[in-house]
Amino acid sequence: MTDRRFMRRAIELATAGIGSVSPNPAVGAVLVREGRIIGEGYHREYGGPHAETDCIRDAQVRGEDPQGAVMYCTLEPCSFRSPTKHNPPCTEKVMEAGITRMIIAARDPNPAVAGCGVQALRAAGIQTCCGLMEEQVLKLNESYFLSTALRRPQVHLKWAQSLNGRIAHAGGGKTPISGPEALRHSHGLRATVDAILVGRGTVELDDPGLTARYGATPLKQPLRVVLDPSLRTPISSQLFQDKAADTLVFSGALNDDALNHAAELKQLGVELVQLPVQDAGGFNVSDILDALYERGVRSVLVEGGAVTHTAFLAAGLWDRLTVYIGPTMLEGKVIAPDAPGYANVVVEHEVDVLGDTVALTSMNPNTRQVLNGLKWDTAPQPQKAGCTLPQEEPHVHRLST
């Protein structure tokens, strides 16, 4: 179980980078000699050193020599140079440090790595084992893995409903459904994403701040995104006025009224992006995701309302769904989002009991398939010329741990 213990520590270290490293993945590394940790590191923020470098540097600061040590790393080390990349290849750093054995959890799906990191290490004579606690690392960096594989942001849908499936009281207005512990949980979700998206109706009805608060303060607040085809969300809305985070509005083509509205929004520092409007009056969900991805967004939390959620569900463009169920009964027809075309079973139905509220988090079965396809055992061999993964080394699921 020693290998698992060190990898668990590397994952723990990686976790500290969540919320600061996107669009990079959160990565942790641990250097071990004779069963003793001699260095620890992680990727702290986008643009900063990678985990492997941070870890080797930590060992040196401690006066330890990485020569002949074993490195546990949550992700396959990078093996390429590029003009837009801040760091030299980590494979070289590992070689220079004289590390003789690498234990790697997950394969880097970035096409510039994708098995070539391991190939480079093995070519340099470093014993390299892959796959230990792979599943945990896939989960930790789900948005990185999915957005890299799908070339769109990871989509996490989230809503709160009463015991009888109502998301607001018939009378309208803000309806408190879930309790304070659920509030902290949902702000925790916000703190891990690059963007939070809502429809115009939700801004008008709830006037939300859409920032991560209640103890969940990320290094940088997520981008706030509003879907507003006819560009008429009130200028007085909190998220346009409070400067608490960047704000982006997707609108359709601007008519004369909308041009004034747009000028006022720009004056307030709100970014406007125009997208084609469908016959039904809304955007194409994949247009939204394409625009966000292009802008660097790798994960988006969709907070409603029901029309917006239903659009994402209908398009099949979602990965996770969190439903908060509060201890309330509500009257009326303001019901949870419809799921056109669904009669299916979601997967990985996690349950969090949050005081008097329950959070159910599920995964889209298609997303599970995508993630499974990124594992060492199923992912394709490296495609880059000169990079073919040797098969003689055992994968870690066959390692005696």
Least distance (Å) between residue 89 CB and its own copies? 43
Looking at the Cβ atoms of 158 and 375, the one nearer to its own copies is: 158
Q: Measured between alpha carbons, how far is 135 from 60 in angstroms, rounded to an integer?
A: 31
**Alpha carbon 256 to its chain's center:** 38
Query: Which residue shows structure tokens 């004289």?
Result: 98
Least distance (Å) between residue 298 CB and its own copies? 25
Looking at the Cβ atoms of 254 and 346, the one nearer to its own copies is: 346
Which candidate in 40, 52, 134, 303 is catalytic? 52
Cβ contacts of 240 within 8 Å, gap of 6 or more: 233, 247, 265, 268, 270
Looking at the Cβ atoms of 169 and 295, the one nearer to its own copies is: 169
Least distance (Å) between residue 357 CB and its own copies? 8
State phi, psi for 274 to the nearest 5 degrees: -95, 135
Q: Measured between alpha carbons, how far is 313 from 35 in angstroms, rounded to an integer?
A: 49
**Catalytic residue status for 52:** yes
Helical pair 90-97 and 116-123, crossing angle rounded to 10 deg: 20
Looking at the Cβ atoms of 296 and 365, the one nearer to its own copies is: 365
Least distance (Å) between residue 189 CB and its own copies? 16
Cβ contacts of 59 within 8 Å, gap of 6 or more: 31, 38, 39, 65, 66, 69
Q: Measured between alpha carbons, how far is 192 from 353 in angstroms, rounded to an integer?
A: 20
State phi, psi for 273 to the nearest 5 degrees: -130, 130
The answer to whether the CB of 285 falls within 8 A of the CB of 261 is no
β-pairing verdict for 36-42 and 247-251: unpaired
Residue 369: how many other CB atoms lie within 10 Å: 11
Least distance (Å) between residue 177 CB and its own copies? 10
Look at residues 202, 183, 187, 196 and name the one whose alpha carbon lies nearest to residue 157: 196
Least distance (Å) between residue 115 CB and its own copies? 34
Looking at the Cβ atoms of 68 and 341, the one nearer to its own copies is: 341
Q: In what order do the strands lie in the sheet with 247-251?
A: 271-274, 247-251, 223-227, 195-199, 299-302, 154-161, 320-325, 357-363, 347-354
Q: Measured between alpha carbons, how far is 196 from 193 in angstroms, rounded to an integer?
A: 7
Looking at the Cβ atoms of 6 and 312, the one nearer to its own copies is: 312
Q: Measured between alpha carbons, how far is 159 from 186 in angstroms, rounded to an integer?
A: 9
**Alpha carbon 158 to its chain's center:** 14
Least distance (Å) between residue 156 CB and its own copies? 14
Looking at the Cβ atoms of 344 and 391, the one nearer to its own copies is: 344
Single-letter residue type at 324: Y
Least distance (Å) between residue 207 CB and its own copies? 20
Alpha carbon distances (Å) from 160 to 2, 168, 186, 238, 360: 42, 9, 10, 21, 10
> Residues in the site for its own copies, rule: CB under 8 A?
161-166, 169, 171, 175, 313, 321, 323, 325, 327-333, 335-347, 349, 351, 353, 356, 358, 360, 362
Looking at the Cβ atoms of 110 and 361, the one nearer to its own copies is: 361
Catalytic machinery residues: 52
